Amino acid sequence: MTQLKVRLVRLIALFAMLACALVTGGSFQTASAQSRIDRQLIAQAERESGDRFTLQTSTPRGVRVFAITRPRAETLRAIDDGFTNLFTVARRHGYRARLDYSAFTVFIARADRTQDSQGNYSPDIAVPAGQYAGSGYDQGGYIYAAGKVLAYNPSSFIIAEHERSFGRISDIVRFEGEHIILYYNDRALYERTKDHSRGGGHPILQ
CA atoms within 13 A on the CB side of 38: 11
- Which run of H or E residues covers position 55? strand 55-58
Strand locations in 120-154 (E): 121-128, 142-145, 147-152
Mean pLDDT of the chain: 83
Q: Is the pLDDT of residue 168 over 80?
A: yes
Per-residue pLDDT of 20-36, as tens digits, reads 333 334 455 665 556 88
Nearest-angstrom CA–CA distance, 136 and 154: 32
Mean pLDDT of 85-93: 97
pTM of the model: 0.81
Nearest-angstrom CA–CA distance, 124 and 147: 7
Nearest-angstrom CA–CA distance, 190 and 179: 6
**pLDDT computed for residue 133 by the predictor:** 63
Fold of 27-198: Glutaredoxin (3.40.30)
Mean pLDDT of 129-145: 67
Nearest-angstrom CA–CA distance, 106 and 157: 5
DSSP-assigned states of every residue in 61-104 = T--EEEESSPPPHHHHHHHHHHHHHHHHHHHHTT--TT--GGGE
Contact 108, 160 (CB under 8 A): yes
Residue 32 sits at φ, ψ, to 5 deg, of: -85, 115
**pLDDT computed for residue 4 by the predictor:** 44
**22: helix, strand or coil:** coil
